[in-house]
Amino acid sequence: MQTSRTFVKRTRAGAVVKVVREHYLRDDIPCGAAACRLCPPRTGATAAGLQAQPRGAASSLCPGPHYLLPDTNVLLHQIDILEDPVIKNVIVLQTVLQEVRNRSVPVYKRIRDVIQTPEKHFYSFTNEHHRETYIEQKKGETSNDRNDRAIRVAVKWYSEHLKKIDDEEKTEVIFLTNDRINKEKALEEGITAYTCEEYIKSLVANPDLVDRLACVSDEGIIIQGLKHLNRAVHEDIVAVELLPKNDWVALSSVVLQDDGQNDDDIETEEEKENILKASVIKDMLRPTGKVVGIIKRNWRPLCGMLSKSEIKEARRHLFTPADRRIPRIRIETRQADKLEGQRIIVAIDGWPRNSRYPNGHFVKNLGSAGDKETETEVLLLEHDVPHQPFSQAVLSCLPKMPWSITEQDMKYREDLRHLCICSVDPPGCTDIDDALHCREIENGNIEVGVHIADVSHFIRPGNALDEESVKRGTTVYLCEKRIDMVPELLSSNLCSLRSDVDRLAFSCIWEMNHKAEILKTRFTKSIIKSKASLTYAEAQMRIDSATMNDDITTSLRELNKLAKILKKKRIDNGALTLSSPEVRFHMDSETHDPIDLQTKELKETNSMVEEFMLLANISVAQKIHSEFPEFALLRKHPAPPPSNYDILVKAAKSKNLEIKTDSAKALAESLDKAESPTFPYLNTLLRILTTRCMMQAVYFCSGMDNDFHHYGLASPIYTHFTSPIRRYADIIVHRLLAVAIGADDTYPELRDKHKLADMCKNLNYRHKMAQYAQRASVAFHTQLFFKSKGVVNEDAYILFVRKNAIVVLIPKYGLEGTVFFEEKGKPTPKLDYNNEVPSLTVEDTTLCVFDKVKVNIMLDASNIQHQKIRMVLVEPKIQGNEVPADLSTETSSNDEPEKKKRKLQK
């Protein structure tokens, strides 16, 4: 039997060739069991194969004869166990071997050697070419899920096949997997399955094997306390030694309240460790270790404030970094009086063995703490956002003004200036990446076009502008300023698809029927002239208007109608519709201070634009991957591990709702059903909580990965094409697409998958840091907003429950905060935490996830470097939890902790 897959690719010489990959399925592949007379005899085999009556180590779980069949992770992580002479008669599937080869060549070589060792009786079964064990990947199924299913199908086949052998004592097949979901599915399918640890512990005659079990944890190793950090600083590359199991700790549900100081006293450190250890459940213990060596220091200049010494005329002072993960640094300076209350930069010089603090030196004064410009500079530096002015070398790469489109520019372009194209963006947007058109064509079908700014025309590979753009990676949007990836001449002028001017574009054009089914797709470099630059609100007003029927409005209505159909199709395929409150600040025109804070209101037109951008990204991803299967730049969204959903499932269960997390489709469907007539906001809260369970989407090179699936969009392939003004990944995708359609030349780096993979790593880092910087900017402006408000009383909903606190969401402001029930200097109320519900009983009041409460919000400015929004529960009223009177006023920012003052006075 033969199956085949056909695709088209371009050769290095530029020719287009059709490639057909044939996959043959056979009936004559033996099972490897010596006692089997049903299979043809093994020919030319160098290894011994499986024993007829396997009598390995005695197992209390499976006392009878049995073969073992491990999955990929067991093979990867427990190779030391599998190499032990005690472990024999193991079936190694082709699916598993291929995955191991892709993930670890050393382990692959070791397992091949074991298979070739006759006395081990390991057998490699080519299940991918056996007619009864080969399976096709289902639509929307990830490669990982498909391989897990292929392994279970093979185990099932072996179990059924061995039952047919005429033996007195039947041989079982034991499936070994450490994947909880895979094991549950196997048990549901009637397969005997154990974790590797369960099986090894059942070998009663070989207890020493337990010591060789690899400790596998997705959560890494916990390092607790300054002593175990051993002078390592955050982001250092270190060597770690695991502690004995009786010294392991767990990630606690206790929230340690920030008291405004970097308290690193030994007493305080021990107190914190004791609090955390006291709250641990034994089953939650995680691998814990200590740093035994520092392989590479990753010290960087640090922003923070000087904690001036109490000793008169002292030159040695402590510097407190803004990043709480960094210890205080001892510096020498004669400028202490001048630097007090200022944000400064300090560099670490070294950390002597006998010193509690590292030594460093003063580098630069950034300005007064609390000043808007200074704080913005700090958050950009702390999040490693390149924001220096563009160099002369970069600016010299820009086109000379006045600029106009030449005949050479038109050589590979289609003139689309006659089309009714318009853009729809947020108010005040000047870097307009995308525009749309929609019209009915002669055959009655609809032509829809997405037109994207042709930034790659201006940024040529390898020049100074290109190097600066890839270094920045992305535009960073702060609350009142934008850090551009490319110079303003491009971002807000020559590349921006403004109305009534000729612009160069890259167009993705579909022919669709009225059911939004794609009949044809084509890509072309183009020249366009947008007829209107609209905001979302203006576009929505046109769509809703009963009197407007011009070409732009008609086009928008048809686009909106098609977008609704496309969205329904996506959701039916399992795409997730999640929620994450976004806030918008209204600034004072003179002071630029925030005067109002609101959550962003999304309109139909937001969704309309999003649907066509998603469709363009998917269409381009398919095109560049078909042309360049080894070096397409793609974007994937990994499925979350099952444990990520625990809090969501428990929270829904507390409201008598069931959330299924087997797949994205099951999750989407159960979220749609999770509604309460008496509590309409509940569904939004569940979607917000679901967002917190998700993994981060990442860029990758297609030749370096085999799992392309985008979990959130339920798309088998995806990339970024639609925002090249603000994302460098899109520029690379534009270059790939231009080469694919013959509109531009390739260059060596574009075809080097290792260099592309390194670039993806940098882009993922830049996007993550930009996201963190944007959040820090929102947090700072939120503090400015509440600074002038005093105490504000608002409705809130409980999102998370901890052992000593609750985390609440205030819908009006899209603001999250923690309400603590333990405070220094106050009697501790009686607290009873229930992890299963989840709930927290404070005195006689029980607080559950999603409960509606009232809180007082205020700015706590007791520490100017770490100002924070403080929240206190008002309703339901709990005795001893009143609003502190002093929190609505600012207090001294640089007071030493009382404990330190007492020490100094001694």
CATH number, domain at 850? Answer: 2.40.50.140
**Do 542 and 684 fall into the same domain?**
no
Is the pLDDT at 7 greater than 60, yes or no?
no
One domain, residues 645 and 708: no
Structure-block tokens of residue 189 = 């399918």
CB-based contacts of 287, cutoff 8 Å, min separation 6: 215, 217, 220, 221, 222, 242, 248
Tell me if 162 sits within 8 A of 171, measured CB to CB: yes
Euclidean distance between CA atoms 438 and 453, whole angstroms: 18
Q: Is the peptide bond before 402 cis (omega within 30 degrees of 0)?
A: yes
Residues 290, 307 within the same domain? no
Which one-letter amino acid corresponds to residue 898?
A: E
The three-state (H, E, C) secondary structure of 591-628, written as one string: CCCEEEEEECCCCHHHHHHHHHHHHHHHHHHHHHHHHC
Instruction: Report if residue 269 sits inside a domain.
Output: yes
- Given this model, what pLDDT does residue 906 score? 39
Tokens 């290095």 belong to residue: 12
Give the containing element (helix H, strand E) for 857. strand 852-860
Alpha carbons 96 and 360: distance in angstroms, whole number: 51
Q: Dump pLDDT digits (tens) for 462-499.
A: 999 999 999 999 999 998 889 999 999 999 999 999 99
State the average pLDDT for the chain.
86
DSSP-based three-state secondary structure for 56: coil
Torsional class of 30: left (φ above 0), alpha (ψ -120 to 50), beta (otherwise)? beta
Q: Considering its fold, how many domains does the chain have in total?
A: 6
- Counting every residue written for the chain, the total comes to 906
The answer to the question of residue 217 being in a domain is: no
**Are residue 142 and residue 274 in the same domain, yes or no?**
no
Omega into 63 within 30° of 0, i.e. cis? no
- Read off the tokens for 874: 């008002």
- Residue at 133 is within a domain: yes
Q: Where are the beta strands (DSSP E) in 687-756?
A: 698-701
Report pLDDT for 729.
97
Q: CB under 8 Å, gap of 24 or more: what pairs does 61-65 form?
A: 61/194, 61/198, 61/199, 61/202, 62/172, 62/174, 62/192, 62/202, 64/169, 64/170, 64/171, 64/172, 65/169, 65/170, 65/171, 65/172
Closest by CA position to 365, among listed 325, 305, 300, 299? 305
Are residues 474 and 529 located together in one domain of the fold?
yes
pLDDT band of 256, cuts 50, 70, 90: low
d(CA 491, CA 455): 9
Indicate the pLDDT class of residue 105, thresholds 50, 70 and 90. Answer: confident
Shared-domain flag, residues 578 and 685: no
Helices (H) and strands (E) in the chain, counts: 23, 36
Contacts of 780 (CB under 8 A, 6+ apart): 375, 376, 379, 479
In this structure, the answer to whether residues 464 and 580 fall within a common structural domain is yes
Assigned domain for 220 exists: no
User: How high is the pLDDT of residue 888?
Assistant: 40
Is the predicted pLDDT of residue 5 greater than 80, yes or no?
Answer: no
Residue 783 lies in a domain: no
How far is it, in rounded angstroms, from Cα 188 to Cα 178? 16
The one-letter code for the residue type at 906 is K
**Domain boundaries, position 629:** 392-633+703-770
Which of 202, 237, 263 terminates a domain? The answer is 202
In a domain, 775, yes or no: no
Q: How far apart are CA 17 and CA 10, in angstroms?
A: 6
Q: What is the per-residue pLDDT for 317?
A: 93
Output the pLDDT for position 217.
Answer: 56
Beta carbons of 858 and 870 less than 8 angstroms apart: yes
Q: Does a structural domain hold residue 562?
A: yes
User: Is the domain of 735 the same as that of 596?
Assistant: yes
How do residues 63-73 score in pLDDT, each as one tens digit? 888 999 999 99
Same domain, 405 and 551: yes
Give the domain CATH number at 340.
2.40.50.700
Query: What is the reported pLDDT for 11?
Result: 58
Binned at pLDDT 50, 70 and 90, residue 453 comes out as very high
- Position 436 scores a pLDDT of 96
What integer pLDDT is reported at residue 28 of this predicted model? Answer: 85
Q: How many CB atoms lie within 10 A of CB 362?
A: 19
Helix locations, 104-218, DSSP H: 105-115, 143-163, 180-188, 196-201
Across 550-563, average pLDDT = 95
Label residue 315 by pLDDT band (50, 70, 90).
Answer: confident
pLDDT at 889: 40
Hey, which residues does 483 pair with through a beta bridge? 476
Structure tokens at 476: 């960073």
Percentage of the chain exceeding pLDDT 70 = 87
**Helix H or strand E encompassing 21:** strand 16-24
CA–CA separation, 258 and 805 (whole Å): 13
Q: How much is the average pLDDT of 727-740? A: 96
Looking at the fold, whether 165 and 58 belong to one and the same domain comes out as yes
Query: CB 904: neighbour CB atoms within 10 A?
Result: 10
Coil, helix or strand at residue 24: strand
Amino acid identity for residue 494 in this structure: L
Domain boundary among 712, 742, 770: 770
**Nearest Cα residue to 434 out of 490, 486, 488, 508:** 508
Q: Find the CATH number of the domain harbouring 37.
A: 3.40.50.1010
- What distance in Å separates the CA atoms of residue 454 and residue 734, rounded to the nearest whole number? 8
Q: Which two tokens stand for residue 405?
A: 């489109």
Segment among 504-508, 528-532, 640-644 with least mean pLDDT: 640-644
What are the tokens at 276?
């955390």
Q: Which residue has the tokens 């032990």?
A: 84
Q: Which residue has the higher pLDDT, 906 or 702?
A: 702
Is the pLDDT confidence value at 227 over 60? yes
Confidence class of residue 4 from pLDDT cuts 50, 70 and 90?
Answer: low
Identify whether the C-beta of residue 531 lies closer than 8 Å to the C-beta of residue 422.
Answer: yes
Distance separating alpha carbons of residues 580 and 814, to the nearest angstrom: 8
Confirm if 120 and 91 have CB atoms less than 8 A apart: no
204 or 824, higher pLDDT: 204
Tokens coding 25:
């399925």
Which of 589 and 828 is assigned the larger pLDDT? 828
Looking at residue 20, what is its pLDDT? 64
pLDDT at 588: 65
Q: Which residues contact 844 (CB under 8 A, 6 or more apart)?
A: none
Pairing of strands 329-332, 532-535: unpaired
From 207-216, 382-391, 887-896, the region with the lowest mean pLDDT: 887-896
Do residues 284 and 321 both lie within one domain? no
Task: Give 338-376 pLDDT, tens digit per residue.
Answer: 999 999 999 999 999 888 899 999 999 999 998 889 999
Question: What CA–CA distance (Å, rounded) separates 797 from 806?
Answer: 10
Q: Per DSSP, what are the bridge partners of residue 467?
A: none
Q: In what order do the strands lie in the sheet with 122-125?
A: 122-125, 90-93, 66-70, 172-176, 193-194
Q: What is the maximum span of the chain, computed from C-alpha positions, in angstroms?
A: 94
Domain boundary among 770, 803, 823: 770
What digits encode the pLDDT tens for the residues 618-664?
Answer: 999 999 999 999 999 999 999 888 888 988 998 898 888 999 988 88
Q: Which residue has the higher pLDDT, 601 or 27?
A: 27
CA 553 to chain centroid:
38
* Residue pLDDT, tens place only, 876-904: 888 656 555 444 443 333 333 444 333 33
Residue 367: both structure tokens together: 């300005």
Q: Report residue 828 as tokens.
A: 């501790």
Q: Considering the domain boundaries, does residue 889 fall inside one?
A: no
Q: How far apart are CA 756 and CA 205, in angstroms?
A: 51
**Closest CA relative to residue 806, chosen from 852, 847, 855, 846:** 847
**What does the alpha-carbon distance between residue 304 and residue 539 come to, in Å, rounded to a whole number?**
46
Q: Could you tell me how far CA 322 lies from the centroid of its own chain?
A: 25
Residue 262 has pLDDT above 60, yes or no: no
The pLDDT of residue 457 is 95
Question: pLDDT category, 154, cuts 50, 70, 90?
Answer: very high
Position 854 scores a pLDDT of 93
Quick one: 288 and 306 in the same domain?
no
